[in-house]
Amino acid sequence: MKKLGRLLTAMVTPFDAEGKVEYQQAKNLARALLGSGSDGLVVSGTTGECPTLSSEEKLRLFAEVKSAVADRGTIVAGTGSYSTKESQQLTKEAEKIGVDAYILVVPYYNRPTQQGLFEHFKGIAESTTLPCILYNVPSRTVTNLATETVIKLSEIDNIVGVKEASGNLGQIAAIIQGAGDGFLVYSGNDGDTLPILGLGGYGVVGVASHLVGNQIKQMMQAFLSGRVGEAAAIHRHLLPLVNALFIVPNPMPIKYALNCLGFPVGKPRLPLTEPDEKSAEIIQATLRDYKIDLPMPLKIIEEA
């Protein structure tokens, strides 16, 4: 199976002034992210506002972004939802487009049992030949994907990893210890990346990498090369920025930040809104404190 990369950016979905998907800007953003540290992109994930995108919009977004990046990086398509059947259908259609892998969120709202979760993910994996990454984010889904369930799912050949956003380092350590050989554990929270690497994790599906992808990659490379002190210093330096980018629910802050920096991605779709005034001031102040400008590939595209 194709290597997916250690640094995957959960890409925002740009909208125009009328709230329609701005596909050309999505292509610009995809190319820029791969030029500023990212190994691949998660398209139509949480950060991409997947609950508000239609299936038609998702499929076109997968196709447009794939055409823009070709083989420069991996495209991980967000095809999971609370419906197993709909997830299978979208997964099959996305495979025809040529995506490289899928990210499958724990079903939200309907609160399945662990057996239901196992059957859900097994059923989606059986509908495709491509790699699948599980996504555990109980703060959004309510249901936690238990360690034992992840380990059992890791025995399925094309379930190759999990994006762990539970924040439970004990659970994450147990998954790393018990999962099958080659199973990849990605940090699902930017602030947990270094601790999860320290436990034996593989990488991160991040949001801050829209702005500081090269620095995150440098941190990861330093740790993997044994320069733990250097990695820890970068981690500590980036934490206030990470905190500001999650001061209100993602992706409201990162879209606001990109707009402030001169790379228009539009407002979030309702029911999400732009950050409130106080939160917006904190985001702006943090961008000034870090002297953050557009990453060079974004700047080149914006000036073109």
Which one is catalytic: 27, 58, 163, 217?
Answer: 163
Q: H helices within the chain, ranges in order? A: 23-34, 55-69, 84-97, 114-125, 138-141, 147-153, 169-178, 193-199, 209-224, 228-244, 252-260, 277-289, 296-303
Do 262 and 302 form a contact (C-beta atoms < 8 A)? Answer: yes
Which one is catalytic: 23, 66, 102, 135?
Answer: 135
Q: Note if 255 is an active site residue.
A: no
Which helix (DSSP H) or strand (DSSP E) does residue 226 occupy? none
Q: Note if 2 is an active site residue.
A: no
Do 59 and 24 form a contact (C-beta atoms < 8 A)? Answer: no
Alpha carbon of 226 to those of 220, 231, 243: distances in Å? 10, 9, 26
How would you write 61-81 as a 3-class SS string?
A: HHHHHHHHHCCCCEEEEECCC
What are the catalytic residues? 135, 163
